Each structure stands twice: as structure tokens, then as C-alpha cells.
Structure 1
Amino acid sequence: MADRLPTSYFQKHNAVHLARLLLGKTLVRKFPDGRELRAQITETEAYFGTDDLASHARKGRTARTELMFGEGGFVYVYLIYGRYWLLNIVTGKAGQPEAVLIRGLNTVSGPGRIGNLLELDRSFYGEDLGISERLWMEDTVLEGEISAGPRVGVDYAGEVWKNMPWRFVLISATS
């Protein structure tokens, strides 16, 4: 078993850098019934500060985004379409709202599907990845190349922000 990534790991890097670094890491979910799911992270997307018009932080501090303004290493989940909880990891230093959306795993693709697979809900909001007994990341690396491209589903942010090359995909060496 690989080492768990400590909370401080997520505080050392901004969202764009960490989005690349998380590719190949192992996401672990321990369910209440004792089952454990382990999957490699294969796709991420970065959201960077209040100027980023695709980020929830663009509207400043709200009850929903308060966690993004804190230190990195905590889970930021939110509900979309009334049925999908999306998994984001807060990054960087307090006061600089940044997060990385987990978009793909080697077992499933799509942030809504990931939320369903992990059985996420509101209770994960604010979960500390460094000490959580139900969700954490381990320091593993997959071989392969990384491609970067525009983020998905953020047309509302305008041409500049929707086309930021802040979506990262791990392309397996065996593909």
C-alpha cells in the first residue's frame, strides 16, 4: 500500500499544478460496510481564484464556497442537476480560492459518475483528506503522457476562461 498524501501536500501547490500532479494517484473510498474502492485518477480540471469566471469562487465568499477560501487538502463537494455530487479538492493557501475537480478514474469517467460510484453526499463537504477514514489519496504514479485542453461544461465563463488549458488527462502508456 502506498503512503497517504498528507493535507500539507495539497497546500504546497496551486490548483493548476496540483491538477497535473494528481494524475496517477490512487483515490481510496472506504464504505461504511467495510468495502474499499481503489482507483487511479486519470482526469482532472483546475479552478483558480476569484478572477476565474468558471470557478464558483468568482462570486466571492458564500456559504457554498467558504471552504474554497481555506487551506488546501479538504473536500469541496456540490450537487448538480439535483442528483450528482461532484468531488473537488481545495488547494493552495488560505485566502486564495482554488480547487481541482476529479473528472476521471481508471474505473469510470465523468464527475457525476464518480460521485455516484463513491456514494458522495453533503457530509463529505469539508472532509480532511489527511485524516479521513472514508476518503483519501495515496502517492502512486501511473506511466503515461499528460494531455492538456480546455475545461468542459463552462461555456458560461466566456471564451478566455472556458478555453484555459486546465483540464488534464493521463494517457496510459499502453493505449
Structure 2
Amino acid sequence: MVTLMPADGSGEHPLAGSAPLTREFFDRPTHEVAPDLLGRVFVHGPVAVRLTEVEAYGMPGEDPASHTYRGRTPRNAVMFGPPGHLYVYFTYGMHFCANLTCLPEGIGSGVLLRAGEVISGIEVALARRSAGASRTVAERDLARGPARLAVALGLAREQNGLDACVPGPISVRAGEPATAGSIMSGPRTGISSGRETPWRFWIDGDRTVSPYRPHVPRRR
């Protein structure tokens, strides 16, 4: 596991200062990009999260679980733009979730950021996650789940469409990629369509990975 404390005594963990990933990195099919994102570091302002769990979503007309399955809409327009951009959406009337777009402009696919370990800016992340809570949030739970990850990083509607491949508010750093032997895959969480597609990827044994939950139909 990566330590939460900066190794050099500064306010930033060394992995958060590693080289940013290029646009070419994201210009690939999502099921190739997703496992390659494990161990990488997402940075937004003072907070950096080492990614430990992600889910890939495919192209229009091919993946019924993808937001782009039925084509372009005002909501999912960012996913049809260039690769390496942040797609943030609001779900269940209460949560934001963050994705990174993949493949060339006009296609429409992305990788959902499901969970990670806060390695820099832990005080800021803790304050965001503890706001309104009745008890202190445990460190392992700061970014354990897609909505929690978005809150810890301070991602909301205002960040939708930001480019992660140029100098700016957000970036995805090279970090230390997970080894092939540590990467597991399985069905995606909580979806009703395409639920058997094994495009959820996570680092085996990492304490920040969220628990798998299959889709449960809502009672009318």
C-alpha cells in the first residue's frame, strides 16, 4: 500500500507529482484503459487519489450499460468529445460520479472511477467527506465508492468536461501502475443491463476497493 504521508516531508505525495498521462493513453478501448488506470493518481487541487477500482463502459449501440448506448444527448455530450476528458454526472438525485473519456472524438465511451486511496490532501478530503456526517469517516472509506471518490476530490457539475491531458485544474498522473498479477476483473456493480460483462477491474486485496453489489430491481 502507498503511505498517506509525503515521503519527502512536503505537502504532496511523490506519486502525485509524477508525469501526467498523455492523450494517447486514453485513445484506446475502455476495457484496455481501465486496468491500466489502476495505480495511477487522479489529482484535483490539493487532493490526490491513487485509483484502486474502475469500470469500463463501451460504445454506443454495443454496451447497454453505457450512458452512450442510445447515442449523444446534452447530458453525455462530453463522452463524445476527445479522449482524456472528465465526464461528471449526477445520479439518484444525490450523488456525482466521475469518468474519464476514451477513444477518438465522436465515438462515446469512458471509464468510471469507482474507488481509490487518498494519498495527498487527506485533511481536505476528510473535511469534505465528514461534512454533515454524525461520525468521522475512516481513512479507507474516504474514496471507497464512486460517489465518495467524487466528494473527496471535490468533483461536481462544474468540473464536467475538464481536460486531464493539459495543464489545468485536474490531471491523471502516471503513479505506479498495478502489476498484472494484482489486477482482478469481474461483473460491473449494480447494473441491470450488460451485468455479466467482466469490465470491473480492481487491485486484489486493496482495502479501499468497494464491495461488489449486484443489481436489485426496485419494488414498485
- Larger-Rg structure: 2
- By relative contact order (CA 8 Å, sep 6+), the higher-ranking structure is 1
Once residues 143 and 66 of structure 1 are traced to their aligned partners in structure 2, the CA distance between those partners, rounded to angstroms, is 31
Task: Answer 1 or 2: which has greater strand percent.
Answer: 1
Give the match for residue 157 of structure 2.
122
Show CA shifts across 1:17-62 (max 9, x none).
Answer: 00010000011110xxxxx112210000000011200001112111
Q: State which of 35, 48, 53 in structure 2 corresponds to 1:38.
A: 48
Flag the 1:127–1:143 CA change in 2: closer, same or farther, 3 A.
closer
TM-score, L = length of structure 1: 0.87
Matched to 1:6, the amino acid is: T
1:169 paired to 2:179: no
Gaps of 5+ in 1: 31-35
Matched to 2:198, the amino acid is: P
Matched to 1:81, the amino acid is: Y
Report if the CA contact (8 A) 1:7-1:74 is conserved: no
Backbone CA RMSD of aligned residues: 1.7
Identity rate of aligned residues, in percent?
A: 31
Q: State which of 174, 185, 195 in structure 2 corresponds to 1:148.
A: 185
Once residues 93 and 81 of structure 1 are traced to their aligned partners in structure 2, the CA distance between those partners, rounded to angstroms, is 29
Flag the 1:7–1:25 CA change in 2: closer, same or farther, 3 A.
same
Flag the 1:142–1:49 CA change in 2: closer, same or farther, 3 A.
closer
Report if the CA contact (8 A) 2:20-2:173 is conserved: yes
Report if the CA contact (8 A) 1:105-1:114 is conserved: yes
Runs of 4+ with deviation above 4 angstroms: none
Gaps of 5+ in 2: 1-16, 119-142, 208-220
Give the match for residue 86 of structure 1.
97
Give the match for residue 110 of structure 1.
145
Aligned length: 164
